[in-house]
Structure 1
């Protein structure tokens, strides 16, 4: 089996800009969710990234300007990611690097703003609105490729909240099949009114900061995030000496689609179990090898209960697990890349983060839910992402060295 490694990575969210800021936030248990002031009729709390409104897209790419691509650009400019990709591109050739992005919102905020700016009585949108370069789902990978100067295959994954986790799986397939030598994997999802009001209409927004797995949990907090990882074959090129808190091996992955309901998870957890089991099988690992699980853990009654049941069915109560959405909010299609980077931090720092804002575990739960941080060396960790429509993805990362 081809060994794949994350040789560079970055992430930006309400937790901070970059890997070190994210790591500090986890270790210091900083409160980052804030009351929703993104919209006039704000409800609940959100995970908002500071500085997106002021960020400027490079002038030669101004046609891509939208909140989602600004957020992505901020992440690209963090942790030396652009420079690392340039080095890889010089080694492989820009045409041998793919871009695989996950997103669910893309630049839909731009369409909302264009609709609001229409001339009264005129059904057409303003000519200044560039649908293809903003709202279209292909906008993000095309922007990332143009910004980084790579010309390999481009792909958008829009599998709801499992989007950027699934992106790793498709990137692995492209690399191992020889279509490309490396892939920029990740995604971005940004705040927009459709998401905030849509989840409010589903009565899934908590009036409090999200508290995953808590006995009194009552819904989600929406967040925004962007992140990227450079995925390559092991030993394909010389890497800089020293350790970094983002390097990790991608040793296993699994996916399933249960199609139980458009917006509710299968309460038996059958699809989630299949995704996790397939990841273990692909990695040739027993369940006992996993040292930590980053749960999907949205904070809703149904999702958290389902995931606890699924984890217990495979792992019993021996594997520490937690959701980090109490810090970031639910960043939808970007949650996979953000939480993959958090898993890399766990592997490198041995710090297992707890469920932020949660105080008392649901008494019906049987998994080892972390309410306080724990320090434990893990050789392998799992990241779960389960999306609307029954799309499920699980990744297993291993220590780099």
Structure 2
């Protein structure tokens, strides 16, 4: 299986998640269907919710510039650290002005603003511990660029749940311009009251572990994470060979019920990579476990793949929905699937919703044939859709 797509190599990912940062541990969790969720009532006192918090020790921030001190940036620094020796090797071979940074986020440092309101009281002036810059959506990319001394283009994309995926497709486009020789690209989002209460107000949150594609699904679990790749024009390894981006313009929050935009995103990714449905060995579904999203996505998958029984799983059942980080985190899961030759298990109650088109949900982590290409779907508020297609070249 060969591709005509330009080279867009994705490095070994750096991750900070509810499973930690060790790729062996993360791969084990995916292959064995281990849920990383916890019962947490910090945001809903007295009413615990199943959330996916990052519990690993995070880097100390006390010696950072004041405007960069946020939990979101600490997650990002943990993901940078998890890149290991790849990062100094990059800085040794590529000039700072030739390295770009593109991040995706929907919260940035909002949790620090919430802490400031809690300290000072609603309606009162903030104290001197508060810094508005921390919650600016450009803060994640600016933090990486300043922390590493990079001088190339840098920006943050905020398209809700597709942010991290769009950061990777934007990195591919930036490399194609010739302006950069490498891009650090990814996504990061932090648990906070804004997201937990926001989704709860839409009756979209399940208090118990979510059940994607089950007839008894009740809604999402929310998580947090940071995931990063070094994206280059190098040959070999695992390549981002295709992506598709569409917008439904159907509803302010709900997806198009027929999955029109989602199907077009998948088809565009296939077309860009020069692939057909039979080439795809695994599909990481958006799979939020909300009634509308799962129904739409199942229809869209059936529309694109037809009778091709592509193995499908929804890893948000394991990590929660990490919002702006989800597109990159789940691309990293596809990267691990290709690199380790494993299929992430689909974890739910086994009661598939018979009103949906049938899906080949993964119940065995061992691929039936060598895994060469994987697809990842992410769909956001307002019908903002993105699909990534990754391929193993050796």
Alignment of 1:183-222 (within 5 A): 183-222=183-222
Q: TM-score, normalised by structure 1?
A: 0.92
Q: Which residue matches 1:394?
A: 387
Q: Which residue matches 1:108?
A: 110
Q: Which residue matches 1:118?
A: 120
Q: CA deviation at 1:57?
A: 2.1
Alignment of 1:259-274 (within 5 A): 259-274=249-264
1:147 equivalent in alignment to 2:147: yes
Find the aligned partners of 1:346 and 1:31 in 2 and give their Cα distance.
Answer: 17
Find the aligned partners of 1:119 and 1:334 in 2 and give their Cα distance.
Answer: 30
1:86 equivalent in alignment to 2:88: yes
After superposition, the Cα gap between the structure-2 partners of 1:38 and 1:55, relative to the gap in structure 1 and judged at 3 Å, is farther
Find the aligned partners of 2:347 and 2:233 in 1 and give their Cα distance.
Answer: 35
Q: CA deviation at 1:36?
A: 2.0
- DSSP 3-state at the match of 1:392: strand
Q: CA deviation at 1:84?
A: 1.4
Q: Which residue matches 1:67?
A: 71
Find the aligned partners of 2:153 and 2:208 in 1 and give their Cα distance.
Answer: 42
Please give the per-residue CA displacement for 1:322-354, whole angstroms capped at 9, x wherever unaligned.
Answer: 100011000001001110010011112221122
Q: TM-score, normalised by structure 2?
A: 0.94
Q: CA deviation at 1:43?
A: 4.3
Find the aligned partners of 1:14 and 1:119 in 2 and give their Cα distance.
Answer: 31
Q: Is the 8 A contact 2:62 2:69 kept in 1?
A: no
After superposition, the Cα gap between the structure-2 partners of 1:371 and 1:38, relative to the gap in structure 1 and judged at 3 Å, is farther
Deviates more, 1:20-29 or 1:367-376: 367-376
Alignment of 1:357-376 (within 5 A): 357-376=348-367
Deviates more, 1:354-363 or 1:292-301: 354-363
Please give the per-residue CA displacement for 1:136-179, whole angstroms capped at 9, x wherever unaligned.
Answer: 01110011112223221101110100000011111111100111
Please give the per-residue CA displacement for 1:180-220, whole angstroms capped at 9, x wherever unaligned.
Answer: 11100101001000111111111111121011111211100
Alignment of 1:26-105 (within 5 A): 26-41=30-45, 42-51=47-56, 55-57=59-61, 59-80=63-84, 83-105=85-107
Q: Which residue matches 1:248?
A: 238
Q: Which residue matches 1:242?
A: none
* Structure 2: tracts of 5 or more residues without a match: none
Deviates more, 1:21-30 or 1:157-166: 21-30
Find the aligned partners of 2:358 and 2:157 in 1 and give their Cα distance.
Answer: 31
Q: CA deviation at 1:375?
A: 1.5
Q: CA deviation at 1:28?
A: 2.8
Find the aligned partners of 2:8 and 2:179 in 1 and give their Cα distance.
Answer: 15
Q: List, as ranges, runs of 4+ consecutive aligned residues in structure 1 with deviation greater than 6 Å.
A: none
Find the aligned partners of 1:314 and 1:369 in 2 and give their Cα distance.
Answer: 14
After superposition, the Cα gap between the structure-2 partners of 1:273 and 1:193, relative to the gap in structure 1 and judged at 3 Å, is same
After superposition, the Cα gap between the structure-2 partners of 1:15 and 1:312, relative to the gap in structure 1 and judged at 3 Å, is same
Q: Is the 8 A contact 1:190 1:225 kept in 2?
A: yes
Q: How many residues align?
A: 386
Please give the per-residue CA displacement for 1:286-313, whole angstroms capped at 9, x wherever unaligned.
Answer: 1211111100000101101100000000
Q: Which residue matches 2:376?
A: 383
Q: CA deviation at 1:374?
A: 3.6
Please give the per-residue CA displacement for 1:227-267, whole angstroms capped at 9, x wherever unaligned.
Answer: 100010024xxx9xxxxxxx511110110011111111100
